[in-house]
Amino acid sequence: MHVVMDSASRASRHGAVSATSAAPGGREDTSRVGPNTLIQTLAVVRDRRGPGWAQYVSSHARLPDPLPRTMVDERAFGALVTQLVSEFGVDQAEEYLSEAGARTGEYVLRNRIPRPVRAVLPRLPRSLALRALLRAVGAHSWTFAGSAGFESRVRPEGGEFTLTPSFVCATAAADRPMGSYYARAMEVLVRALVAPHARVAEQACIATGSPCCRFSIVLAPSRTPLVEPLEASCALS
Ligand SMILES: [Zn+2]
C-alpha cells in the first residue's frame, strides 16, 4: 500500500530552507513536513477568523508568502503553532489544529491513497486494515510528523502509535496535550479505511512532560473507554 501524507519532490527537499537532521533507516531531511501543515492550518484561521487574521498570524510566524506547495521546514509549523497559542490561547489553538488535522487527513484520502486501496481496505478484517494503514503511514511518517519517530502497534480492538519527539508538541509547552493535529488526521484515515466510528486521541504528550506523544486508536463504536491508564514507557513492543 502506498500512501504519502503530503507531496514532495526530491528537488524541493533540497531547496532553500535547510534541513537539519537525518533519521535512522535511510530517511532523509526529516526536519521537513508536508505543506498541508501550514496550508490547512491557515485555512482554518481564515475560515474561522477571516483573511485578515490569517495574514496577521502568517506574517508574525514569518511564514513564506505565498505558502509553498512543497515540503516545508517543520520549524515553520512550530512557529505557526506558537503564534496560534499566543494570539488565541491554548484551547482555541488546539481546536484550530484539530480541524486542520482533519482537513489534512481528508486531503490525504483524496489525493494520496490510490482508489483501489480505498476500496479494498474497508473490506478487510479491521485489524488487518489498521495494520496496513499504520504500516503505510509509518513508511511515510516523516512527511507527516517531521523529525518525530513513528511507532505503532495493533491490538484486538484498535491500536496505538507514538511520535517521539513530536516537534509541534515539544514547541508548545502546555498544561494539556497539543497533538490533536496528528490525532484528527489519523482519525479521518482510520474512519475512512478501517472503521467508520473509530476514535483517535492523544493519551500522553510531550507538551505536558511525557517522553513521547502517545495516541490510542479505538475501533469500536461502543462506549469503550477511550482514555487508558498511561504507561510509563513509550515503547510499544
Ligand atoms: Zn503531543
Pair 72, 33: CB distance under 8 Å: yes
* CA–CA dist 199, 216 (Å, integer): 8
> Ligand 1: distance of its center to the CA of 160 in Å?
13
Of 50-64, 137-151, 202-216, the least confident: 137-151
Q: Which domain holds residue 102?
A: 26-218
Q: Is residue 76 part of a domain?
A: yes
More confident position, 46 or 234: 46
Q: Is residue 16 part of a domain?
A: no
Q: Is residue 227 part of a domain?
A: no
pLDDT at residue number 213: 92
Quote the radius of gyration of the chain (alpha carbons, Å): 17
Q: Is residue 188 part of a domain?
A: yes
> Ligand 1: distance of its center to the CA of 227 in Å?
15
What would the pLDDT profile of 110-158 be if each residue is shown by its tens digit? 988 888 989 999 999 999 999 999 998 888 776 777 788 899 999 888 9
Of 5-9, 79-83, 161-165, 196-200, the least confident: 5-9
Of 25-34, 35-44, 82-91, 179-188, the least confident: 25-34
Q: Is residue 4 part of a domain?
A: no
Give, to the nearest 10 degrees, the angle between helix 126-139 and helix 180-193.
130
> Ligand 1: distance of its center to the CA of 5 in Å?
19
pLDDT at residue number 189: 95
Per-residue pLDDT at 234 exceeds 80: no
Pair 70, 8: CB distance under 8 Å: yes
Check which CATH number belongs to the domain holding 158 and give it: 3.90.1520.10
> Ligand 1: distance of its center to the CA of 147 in Å?
14
> Ligand 1: distance of its center to the CA of 79 in Å?
16
> Ligand 1: distance of its center to the CA of 120 in Å?
31
Q: Is residue 185 part of a domain?
A: yes
User: How many domains are contained in the chain?
Assistant: 1
> Ligand 1: distance of its center to the CA of 115 in Å?
31
* Alpha carbon 230 to its chain's center: 21
> Ligand 1: distance of its center to the CA of 87 in Å?
20
Half-sphere exposure in the Cβ direction for 92 (13 Å, CA):
12
pLDDT at residue number 166: 75
Q: Which long-range contacts (CB under 8 A, 24 or more apart) does 18-21 make?
A: 18/73, 19/73, 21/147
pLDDT at residue number 15: 30
pLDDT at residue number 60: 96
Of 111-125, 168-182, 198-212, the least confident: 168-182
175 pLDDT tier (thresholds 50, 70, 90): confident
229 pLDDT tier (thresholds 50, 70, 90): very low
pLDDT, average across residues 7-23:
32
Q: Is residue 15 part of a domain?
A: no
> Ligand 1: distance of its center to the CA of 132 in Å?
24
Per-residue pLDDT at 23 exceeds 50: no
> Ligand 1: distance of its center to the CA of 50 in Å?
28
Q: Is residue 202 part of a domain?
A: yes
> Ligand 1: distance of its center to the CA of 177 in Å?
5
> Ligand 1: distance of its center to the CA of 202 in Å?
7
Question: In terms of Cα–Cα distance, which of 196, 122, 141, 206 is closest to 170?
Answer: 206
